Amino acid sequence: MPAFLLEVGTEELPASFVAAAIAQWQNWLPTRLAEAQLTATQISVYGTPRRLAVLIEGLPDRQPDREEEVKGPPASAAFKDGEPTPAAIGFARKQGVDVSDFTVRETDKGAFVFVQKREQGQPLADVLQALVPSWIQDLEGKRFMRWGDGELRFSRPIRWLVALIDDQVLPLELTSGGSTVQSDRLSRGHRVLHPEAVTIARASDYVAALEAASVLVDPAQRQAKIEDQTAAIAAKVGGQAELPEELLAEVVHLTEWPTAVLGQFEERFLNLPAEVSTMVMTSHQRYFPIYQATAQRDPAAIDARSELLPCFVTISNGDPAASETIAAGNARVIRARLADGEYFYRTDSKQPLESFLSQLEAVTFQEQLGSVRGKVDRIGAIAHRLCDQLGIHSSDRLLVSRAAQLCKADLVSQMVYEFPELQGVMGEKYARVSQEPDAVATAIREHYLPKGAGDQLPQTLTGRMVALADRLDTLVCIFGLGLLPSGSSDPFALRRAANGVLNILWDGQLRLDLTALIQGIAADFHHAFPKLAGSAETLIQQLTDFFGQRLRTLLQDEQGIDYDLVNAVLGDNDASYLQRAIADPLDVLNRAKLLQTLRQDGRLATLYETVNRATRLASKGDLDTATLDPTGLVEAALFKQPSEAAFLSALTILQPLATAAQASQAYEPLVDGLLTAAPAVQSFFDGETSVLVMDPDSAIQRNRLNLLGLLRNQARVLADFGAIVKGE
């Protein structure tokens, strides 16, 4: 069976585009082939800085022939007095058949004309010749460019094309104005190690032919080589290299023939905070730092300088024979960068961290919202609200207040100005140099956490308070300006901020009334920016809805809660239930996890049968959704069957359990009570003593609906069972 090779040769591509293009082809090439009635046994996608390639094996020689039935006009319109009408003749011409090939068949809408068409499959070469240009032109990425004087856009100029079906060149042509690239079997080897053209004899020879020309086209091979060589080099100096995932992925797509090279720097630079040295190495130079192999390194350690070795590994894409020259050049570069860091650290450390505060007046947070100093003041006020609500001890409140005051001070330090990625990290270092309390120093670093999904969360009380205050200020202020995120556009990272608030509350087991907090912060915002602020009610509602969306996303995507159970704890289009959720996000998480456990162990199925039917019928009554006590709502004198008395008895037992669950937020006793009530509810609906809820007597009907409404309400303390889907 034929194999097809496509290689698109280019000028050096950005690493991010190589990764994205490989993912795109892997995602939609199987679908494109299937749509063209082509099958394949294997699709392998490759990429390097100078090429994208796909090798498709096990293709058929041609498309299969297809039988297709086409529906035509109604028979009454196709024939008149037994003769074909212009409509019939036109349909036959369009389908390439004769009128005599028509079949008339009855359908639900009457008799229609049908025709059977046989479409002959096209040869593989013809199909691919039509398809392949779109595979190239449909790739998406940032900052595409045109080359020559044409309109064809790609990440970088395309310089050659290889297109082979087995050993035959598939004629393809890409034209951009006066520039034309035609396919052949000539590829290019490594720019330094094999600058000559590489002839690909057969499609299946591609990987081996390029490897012989010092190009590893498979990213997985390059990554394995980088990891093995880096580990070996680090071991020679008694160390262990750290390969951050994102940096490793980038380096893989920056090389075609990777060679690990050991570099070194002066030991005096180990006196710098390790975070400075590693930031220079990883973010600015794409080097891998080396740590002592025997050290049990803690990434969150206050000071890891004793673990860092004055060595690093860099991945060269040049001639391995020139490794010593490359190492010397890398050392000169990093020496200069580390010397800069040394100067910045020494200069910044000469003054206490507090002295930087006045300079924050000159740093703009947002044009309409003023300076970062103003934001710091708001963070302090919000942190005070948090402490009030959580009942934080006075000694801890002082630490929170001090950390809030200093949390942004390092933004105007020389080090952070040069290396913005170190914000918070350097604040912690300078706080310690300034002899601030440990809790304050740690909180300055922690308040930036989490920086994204799955990131570490602040672990100290002080860090959590400042982190929450910072994010809540951003959310209220930016929403207050009407700059809400839309679609994929979220320039102020408000979704990430709200996710951070919820995850911090969950991780810290903090019971916070988020609704009251938002209301208080919104009032402060309106007082501080009266000319900018719109309706306070609108702002609060927008933030409530936004946090509701974030709760839904986090519960489903990160906590793995079934969608209907998420609806059950947030309320299915129930504003009051959503309000309850925002008022205590930790309670929402606990209830959702409990429901998921109940589903897994089978108890939810029994609860569903007990409560859901009652919930649906209760909506026909007029009882509110908050009342739990049956006293005065159910009259025993109106009972006609023993099942009604048993139902009331069950409700009477459940009522204190529901009330206790509301107060303590411990729901297992309520679950047990609902399960115990199940037989009574079942007898009420079915069996020898069952009743007709919608009795003709309005008083009896209301009495029975109140029974159902009370059960619904008591169960709603745990969840809105009407939102749960049976069998999920």
Hey, what amino acid is at 168?
Answer: Q
Tell me: pLDDT of 4 over 90.
yes
| Beta carbons of 13 and 156 less than 8 angstroms apart | yes
For the cut 90, the answer to whether the pLDDT of residue 264 exceeds it is yes
Residue located via tokens 């930087």: 356
d(CA 405, CA 386): 15
Question: Sign (positive/negative) of CA torsion 706, 711, 712, 716?
Answer: positive
Mean pLDDT of the chain: 92
**pLDDT, tens only, 583-602:** 999 999 999 999 999 999 99
Q: What are phi and psi of 595, to 5 degrees?
A: -60, -40
Mean pLDDT of all residues in 70-80: 90
Is the pLDDT at 302 greater than 50, yes or no? no
Distance of alpha carbon 570 from alpha carbon 591, whole angstroms: 10
* Cβ count near 392 (within 10 Å): 19
- 91 and 73 in contact (C-beta within 8 Å)? yes
Structure tokens at 326: 């490359």
Report the alpha-carbon distance of residue 500 to residue 502 in Å, rounded. Answer: 5
Task: Give the tokens for residue 290.
Answer: 């080396």
Task: List the Cα angle 344/347/352 in 5-degree steps.
Answer: 120
Q: Tell how strand 158-165 and strand 179-184 pair up.
A: parallel
The residue-averaged pLDDT of 498-505 equals 97
User: Helix, strand or coil for residue 153?
Assistant: strand
What is the number of helices (H) and of strands (E) in the chain? 25, 22
What average pLDDT score do residues 613-627 get?
Answer: 92
Q: What are the backbone angles phi and psi of residue 387, rounded to the nearest 5°?
A: -60, -40
State the Cα–Cα distance between residues 578 and 552, nearest whole angstrom. 11
Q: Choose the weakest-confidence range: 211-215, 342-346, 532-536, 671-675.
A: 532-536
Q: Give the pair of three-digit tokens for residue 625.
A: 């959704």
Its pTM surpasses 0.85: no
Q: How many CB atoms lie within 10 A of CB 141?
A: 17
Torsion of Cα atoms, 245 then 251 then 256 then 260, to 10°: -90
Torsions phi, psi for 722 (to 5 deg) = -65, -15
The average pLDDT across 306-317 equals 91
- Residue that is written with structure tokens 């509110």 in the block: 624
Looking at 427-431, 433-437, 619-623, which range is the least confident one?
619-623
Average pLDDT (682-704) is 93
Percent of the chain with pLDDT strictly greater than 90: 82
For the beta carbon of residue 382, count every other beta carbon within 10 angstroms. Answer: 24
Q: Mapped to the 3 state alphabet, what secondary structure does 397-421 carry?
A: HHHHHHHHHHCCHHHHCHHHHHCHH
Within 13 Å, how many C-alpha atoms sit on residue 592's CB side? 29
Q: Is the model's pLDDT at 94 over the cut of 90?
A: no
Q: What is the mean pLDDT of residues 345-366?
A: 96
Which of 101-115, 390-404, 483-497, 532-546 reaches the highest mean pLDDT?
390-404
Residue 711: pLDDT band with limits 50, 70, 90: very high
- pLDDT, residue 728, reads 57
How much is the pLDDT for 495?
Answer: 96
pLDDT at residue 53 tops 90: yes
pLDDT of residue 387: 97
User: Model confidence at 148, in pLDDT bands (50, 70, 90)?
Assistant: confident
Cis amide bond preceding 450, omega within 30: yes
Confidence of residue 303 (pLDDT cuts 50, 70, 90): very low
Give 294's pLDDT tier (boundaries 50, 70, 90): low
Percentage of residues in the chain having pLDDT higher than 70: 98
Q: CB of 317 within 8 A of CB of 216?
A: no
Q: What's residue 304's pLDDT?
A: 42
Q: Looking at residue 152, what DSSP letter applies?
A: -
pLDDT at residue 317 tops 70: yes
pLDDT band at 273 (very low <50, low <70, confident <90, very high): very high
